[in-house]
Amino acid sequence: MPAYYLLLCLHILGACVWVGGHLVLAVRILPRALREKKAALIREFERAYERIGMPALVLQVLTGFALAHRILGGSPATWLGETGAARVVQAKLVFLALTVALALHAKLRVIPRLRDDNLPVMGAHIIGVTVLAVLFTVAGASLRLGGYPLFAP
């Protein structure tokens, strides 16, 4: 099996888990938790999802860098360049930094203090990570077209 095919399959599989899981959380679990003021619903989902969600994100980063290296090569100048593909990879790295910042803040500061009456703070984190997950997907799909239509060269 060609290595590129394997990498792409793993990247897409990781994307399914990461984006799908967050969409279920944002669209189904979060509205119910806010309506019923039940922090336990979020905690229960996080506990079950964490074991598959975190490895999926790690897989995305590892396979993502390998795929980007295949397209951009090893020179820092190409990674920092202005081609459509370089711009998309740069955007993905910004999304990654924002995702990690939001996830760490949620894990270390918000979840330990999560109560039925302060759920909206957690809700804002969930919406933020979910919007970023969708942006990752939109950006990723445009790479096959050389960055067009996201960043027309």
Residues that bind ligand HEM (CB under 6 A): 11-12, 15, 18-19, 57, 60-61, 64-65, 67-68, 71, 89, 92-93, 96, 133, 136-137, 140-141, 143-144
Question: Rounded to the nearest whole angstrom, what is the least distance from the CB of residue 142 to ligand HEM in the complex?
Answer: 8
Nearest CB to ligand HEM, comparing residues 60 and 126: 60
> Which residue, 55, 51, 47, 20, is CA-closest to 134?
20
Nearest CB to ligand HEM, comparing residues 33 and 139: 139
Residue at token pair 């930094």: 97
Asked, as a colleague might, if the bond just before 112 is cis with ω within 30 of 0, I would say: no
> Which residue, 7, 3, 26, 1, is CA-closest to 143?
7
Nearest CB to ligand HEM, comparing residues 32 and 144: 144
